[in-house]
Amino acid sequence: MEEPLPSDSYLTLAKDSSGLYKDRNSKFFYFAFPVSNEEEVKERLAELKKKYYDARHHCYGFVIGRDGDFFRASDDGEPNHTAGDPILGQIRSHQLTNTLVVVVRYFGGTKLGVGGLIQAYKSSASLAIEANEIIVEQVKEKVTIHFPYPVMNDVMKLVKNHDLQIIAQEMTLDCKMTLEYREILKEELLGQLDEIQDLKFI
């Protein structure tokens, strides 16, 4: 049995992927992208519509947010629920979020029927995801702290122990540092920082 993901983690795609699926002379160009907001979704769709301007359908599904609570599906002219929903279903069945899958169809002259369309879009979406790599991402938060030089060792020990990222730092008379940490560490980390003498949160 697979280990459940920590509460601050989710599955998404590592990169862009694409390919071609054919069914009875119809061509289905499939694409999968990691996205973090609706603006990126619109940009990706605009790029594909510009490149495949002569295609009859640009169907897609996307899921955004750690809990996958923001999602859409579009049939783009195909019969209702024959394209967008099967695409979205594949994203869901792989438990992905922050993911966009687009399938661009060129009609080949032979009608596939409702069942055939559903299968073609489902297969295309599945292949788009299989051609990619699924990775675990964590929800990150940031904190900015201000402290005198003598406690630098204490701060750096926490940075090392919790595998924190130093996003920015200023070294003047005192030190100012912005740290990025996993959301799951919030309570423990902020408590430990608070114990360091003369350290202030900004």
Q: Predicted confidence band at 2 (pLDDT cuts at 50, 70, 90)?
A: low
Cα distance between residue 199 and residue 38, in whole Å: 39
> Would you identify the CATH topology of the domain 9-136?
Ribosomal Protein S5; domain 2 (3.30.230)
**What is the predicted pLDDT for the residue at 109?**
82
Tens-place pLDDT, residues 144-160: 999 999 999 999 999 99
Q: Is 38 helix (H, G, I), strand (E, B) or coil?
A: helix
Tens-place pLDDT, residues 126-143: 999 999 999 999 989 999
Q: Is 70 helix (H, G, I), strand (E, B) or coil?
A: strand
Residue 5 neighbours by CB under 8 Å, 6+ apart? 11, 136
pLDDT, mean of residues 104-112: 90
> Would you identify the CATH topology of the domain 139-201?
Alpha-Beta Plaits (3.30.70)
Pairing of strands 134-138, 200-201: unpaired
Tens-place pLDDT, residues 11-49: 999 999 999 999 998 999 999 999 999 999 999 999 999
Task: Please state the domain extents for the chain.
Answer: 9-136, 139-201
CB 10 within 8 A of CB 137: yes
Give 147's strand partners: 175
